[in-house]
Amino acid sequence: MKPMVEKRRRDRINQSIAQLKQLLGTQLQNERANCKLEKADILESAVTYLQHNPELTADCQTPNPLQDYKAGYSRCLQKTLHFLSLPETRTPGVRNLLQALQGAGEEPHYCTVCPPHSKSCQDSVTHSSQPSVRALWRPWQS
């Protein structure tokens, strides 16, 4: 079974490299006039071509990480609010949670002093001397 899976994987790789060779036909012919192209040569040429044509890869690049994070946070919050608003999920505890989440707004709460997931950031958040404006709702205290 394993040799068959490996053969299929190699076949897929070879087909993709053949497609790259066709797509980069003139580019490859200019670089290597009269020699047989190896797979590594085809891949190197594809990478070089993409590096010299940044407009082709502009859509693939990740936008600002902070914007990406905020967009993901907003999508997650909207999906959570939608799910919790369904009639079958309506319980007193869920109503309290909905109120807390709707008060959370669209903006994620994060530490701006240091990068995310750093130890000092977690310490500064947990040992903050500033009192919270609103009490944190905990389902086990309802």
> By percentage, how much of the chain surpasses pLDDT 90?
8
Inside any domain, residue 88: yes
Q: Yes or no: say if 98 and 85 are a contact pair by the CB < 8 Å rule.
A: yes
Compute the mean pLDDT over every residue in the chain, rounded to the nearest whole number: 73
71 and 93 share a domain?
yes
Which domain, by its residues, includes 105? 62-112
For residue 37, being part of any structural domain is answered with: yes
pLDDT in tens, 70-129: 888 888 888 888 888 888 878 888 888 877 777 666 555 554 444 444 444 444 444 444
Residues 43 and 69 in one domain: no
Q: Determine, yes or no, domain membership for 36.
A: yes
Provide the whole-model pTM.
0.37
Q: Is residue 108 within 8 Å of 76, Cβ to Cβ?
A: no
- Judgement on whether residues 18 and 46 belong to the same structural domain of the protein: yes
Higher pLDDT, 136 or 32: 136
Amino acid at 97: L
Whether 17 and 42 have beta carbons less than 8 Å apart is answered as: yes
The verdict on 49 and 27 lying in the same domain is: yes
3-state secondary structure of 136: coil
**Model confidence band, residue 28 (pLDDT cutoffs 50, 70, 90):** low
CATH number of 44's domain = 4.10.280
pLDDT at residue 34 tops 50: yes
> Which pLDDT score, from 0 to 100, does residue 62 have?
60
Question: Can you give the pLDDT at residue 109?
Answer: 54
Are both 47 and 81 inside the same structural domain? no
Domain count, the chain: 2
**Comparison of pLDDT for 131 and 65, the residue scoring more:** 65
Q: Which of the four pLDDT bands, split at 50, 70 and 90, describes residue 29? A: low
Residue 42 is assigned to a structural domain of this protein: yes
User: Per mean pLDDT, which range of 21-25, 44-48, 52-56, 121-125 is the poorest?
Assistant: 121-125
Ranges of H-type helices in 54-132: 54-57, 65-85, 92-104, 119-126
pLDDT at 104: 64
